[in-house]
Chain A
């Protein structure tokens, strides 16, 4: 019986290393490739005909496009249009990563802190660079909002700095923790099904419910990851 953590193990499929750094192609990378191929296939094959009246597949692709476009427009405004391809790629990549993880014996690359944190760090650094490029040193005002009494600076500035720098952590840990905990739960409860004989129908029913819930969480966490990115982008472009 495999332990509940075994599903998160990184297994190299092809050993590779450049300048002493291990860049082996692993099961994680394989599922990233699968996600990227599916996203690309979904977004290009369904739009192949580019029909005026969309079919089911084209309609779905358009829904994803408009969903992310509206999210960006509502949260960032028209200034965010430039970043639409990035935000869309991010959303689809995380969404497919989360959903593919629901396939039994697959691998959930979004359940790894290295992946979620690397993405969060890129977003954090990118947003910070955008902020300084648009506002120059005025962007430092983020840490002390306009109109706040000067006496509050001693409390406000450290709080704002901490809250600003905790962004990549909250972004990364939220996704990683949700995916990891969900999968551990499924595995543990799944383990009970076979162990307790006929009574196994009870954990099985529970498992069915939790599986539905996990699908919801997979979509929701992709949405949360993306919308937080949009909100950070909004702060960088419009300040508070």
Chain B
């Protein structure tokens, strides 16, 4: 078997060491640092991009939160405005209603007073007329002149005032 031919050992081992040493040098100094550098750069790029994406996402989230806060604030302000306006309107309405009620009640009382006055006037007129008529009638029928005072008294007794 050629593997056990000791005469070939020295040449095999010599070239093995020489070629292995050269290959080791080429790998450790040139090839492997390059691969390591490329892998590291890729890792770094991926991490950078992830970091960038995360930062952008944070920014977006912040913007959304800000927008939502602004929206809520605006909604609140609008609601406050609406509340204020409706309160004002209600107050005005109440004032107007009160004024109107006052006016109407004044009118009513005025009218009632006018009616009462008119009624009193009318009653006075009726009584006077009745006493006049009664005196005339008494005079014409029985020829007795009745004092106005007495007639008035009689009339008011009948009317029951």
Chain B binding surface SS class? helix
In the bound complex, CA of A23 to CA of B16 (Å) = 11
A26 interfacial contact with B, CB 8 Å = yes
Chain B nearest CB, measured from A4 CB (Å): 10
* Count of A-B residue pairs with CB < 8 Å: 130
Residues of B within 8 A of A118 (CB): 12-13, 16-17
Q: Is the CB of A47 within 8 A of B10?
A: no
Q: Is the CB of A62 within 8 A of B38?
A: yes
In the bound complex, CA of A65 to CA of B38 (Å) = 11
- Pick the interface stretch among A37-45, A163-171, A230-238: A37-45
Q: Is the CB of B8 within 8 A of A26?
A: yes
Complex partner residue of A25 from B2, B13, B15, CB under 8 angstroms: B15
B: number of interface residues (CB 8 Å): 36
In the bound complex, CA of A112 to CA of B12 (Å) = 9
Closest to B24 in A: A89
Residues of B within 8 A of A52 (CB): 41-42, 45
A225 interfacial contact with B, CB 8 Å = no
Residues of A within 8 A of B30 (CB): 40, 44
Q: Is the CB of A47 within 8 A of B5?
A: no
A224 interfacial contact with B, CB 8 Å = no
Chain B nearest CB, measured from A105 CB (Å): 16
In the bound complex, CA of A109 to CA of B32 (Å) = 24
Task: Place the interface of chain A in its size category.
Answer: 35 or more
In the bound complex, CA of A43 to CA of B13 (Å) = 25
In the bound complex, CA of A119 to CA of B23 (Å) = 14
Q: Is the CB of A23 within 8 A of B14?
A: yes
Q: Is the CB of A28 within 8 A of B26?
A: no
A205 interfacial contact with B, CB 8 Å = no
A221 interfacial contact with B, CB 8 Å = no
* Known A52-B42, A65-B35; contact A111-B17, beta-carbon cutoff 8 A: no
Residues of B within 8 A of A35 (CB): 19
In the bound complex, CA of A32 to CA of B21 (Å) = 12
Q: Is the CB of A29 within 8 A of B2?
A: no
Chain A nearest CB, measured from B33 CB (Å): 9
Residues of B within 8 A of A51 (CB): 38
- Pick the interface stretch among A80-88, A127-135, A138-146, A151-159: A80-88
Q: Is the CB of B32 within 8 A of A65?
A: yes
* Known A26-B8, A86-B24, A92-B27; contact A36-B19, beta-carbon cutoff 8 A: yes
Q: Is the CB of B3 within 8 A of A176?
A: yes
Q: Is the CB of A109 within 8 A of B38?
A: no
Complex partner residue of A29 from B15, B37, B38, B45, CB under 8 angstroms: B15
Q: Is the CB of A22 within 8 A of B10?
A: yes
Complex partner residue of A36 from B11, B23, B35, B41, CB under 8 angstroms: B23
Binary interface encoding of chain A residues 68-79 relative to chain B, with 1 for a CB under 8 A from any of its CBs, else 0: 000000000000
Binary interface encoding of chain A residues 16-60 relative to chain B, with 1 for a CB under 8 A from any of its CBs, else 0: 100001111110110011011001100110010011101000100
Q: Is the CB of A10 within 8 A of B23?
A: no
Residues of A within 8 A of B7 (CB): 22
A-binding residues in B (CB < 8 A) = 1-5, 7-17, 19-20, 22-24, 26-28, 30-32, 34-39, 41-42, 45
Task: Report 26 cross-chain contacts, Cβ distance below 8 Å, ordered by A residue.
Answer: A8-B1, A10-B2, A10-B5, A26-B15, A28-B8, A29-B12, A29-B19, A32-B15, A33-B19, A35-B19, A40-B26, A43-B27, A43-B35, A47-B35, A47-B38, A50-B34, A61-B35, A62-B39, A65-B32, A65-B35, A89-B24, A89-B27, A92-B23, A114-B12, A115-B16, A119-B20
